[in-house]
Structure 1
Amino acid sequence: MSRTAAEIRDELLMQLMPSGWAWSKSTQSNLAALLTPFSIMASQFEADIDALRNEISPAKSTLLLADYAEVLGPDPCGRDLLDLTTAEMQALLNSRWVGGGGQSEQFFIDLAQAADVTIAIDYPEPAICGEAVCGVDVCSQDTDRLIWIINLPNKNTGLECPIQRFCPPDTALVFNYTDAA
């Protein structure tokens, strides 16, 4: 919370000026009159900083939200082209400002949960057919273990692009929609 000019002037007089009869502590003195313009400027400076307190990140920003959007550029998934409320735009820009990819299943579940969508991720086990032969893949390959089946409620979640952008590079994604079944 910012201080008033009078509070700053009084603090300068009482705490920062040396003691002695030449350094009057009175708010009516010439020294107080000399310090008043500096106190007014310091008070305005503190008020400006206090007003920008919420602008430190896009999560609560209102004054600098357009600047954050310009710095981040267009959303690679086109989510910023939608008709978003201020709160939705703040959430989107903040997720792009501080977000990053993850390697775990929980990261993607949390990503979906931030969009109010519940997802499940399945990992199919490679099929084994016939008699196992050492060193030979009979029906599947080891890379089949790198397939994730993302179960989404429908195609309108808008999560396909963000999930594809953040998924590990060796992972193949398959999207399954529960309303299509």
Structure 2
Amino acid sequence: MARTSEDYAGAIRALLPRGRVWQAETGGGQQSLILALAQQWARLDADATEVLDQSLPGSNLDLITEWEESLGLPDPCAGEDATIEQRAAQVLARFVGGGGQSRSFFTSYAAALGFEISITAISPFRVETSTVETPLYDEDWLFVWVVTVLSNTGGLSTDVLVCEFEALKPAHTYVLFQ
């Protein structure tokens, strides 16, 4: 939130040395200088706040190319025909998706791309704990997880999600998409 000129004027007055010479008289030269400085700093503060608000990933489409450069995009995941909105979604997903290996990380990452997903881990059959209805998977399936796409509101192809997950998943695991 940008500070006002009154905020800056109060701060300047609080920093002035004490004494008869430094007493600000209403309408005097010192008071006019304080108000002029405060107005300029308030303008700079408002401009900086606006630039920061508009430069966040995905919020200012004019800066999408700079964000893509910083995040190693565009990559093969989105392809050559991605719209500006799809590119912005991918920038935002890359920016907020700093890394993780949990289901919640991958679910949130997919949500940033516009996908609602569920993730199922495959467990091998265990005589002591498995039931008759449990599928017969062996130990090789221990590192497999299944992603089910429930909805896609971002307009990106599911291929983008597959490509992103392949790049982000732990190296020893396999992802199957349904």
Per the normalisation by structure 2, the TM-score is 0.65
State the alpha-carbon separation in 1 of the partners of residues 94 and 170 from structure 2.
18
Gaps of 5+ in 1: 129-139, 177-181
Displacement of 1:169 in angstroms is: 0.9
Displacement of 1:170 in angstroms is: 1.0
1:36-68 deviations in whole A, cap 9, x for unaligned?
Answer: 553343233222222224146315445644422
Displacement of 1:161 in angstroms is: 0.8
Aligned to 1:136: none
What's the RMSD between the two structures over aligned residues?
3.6
Which structure has the greater CA radius of gyration?
Answer: 1
Aligned to 2:141: 144
Mean CA deviation greater in 166-175 or 55-64: 55-64
State the AA in 2 paired with 1:27: T
State the alpha-carbon separation in 2 of the partners of residues 32 and 165 from structure 1.
60
The answer to whether 1:160 aligns with 2:162 is yes
Asked if structure 2 preserves the Cα contact closer than 8 Å seen for 1:148 and 1:172, the reply is: yes
State the AA in 2 paired with 1:68: W
State the AA in 2 paired with 1:173: V
Identity %: 21
Per the normalisation by structure 1, the TM-score is 0.64
State the alpha-carbon separation in 1 of the partners of residues 37 and 167 from structure 2.
52
- Output aligned runs, 1:98-177, within 5 Å: 98-114=96-112, 115-123=114-122, 125=124, 142-152=139-149, 156-158=157-159, 159-176=161-178
1:119 aligned counterpart, secondary structure? strand
1:79-134 deviations in whole A, cap 9, x for unaligned?
Answer: 2741143xx54432122113134323343333334423333425152699xxxxxx
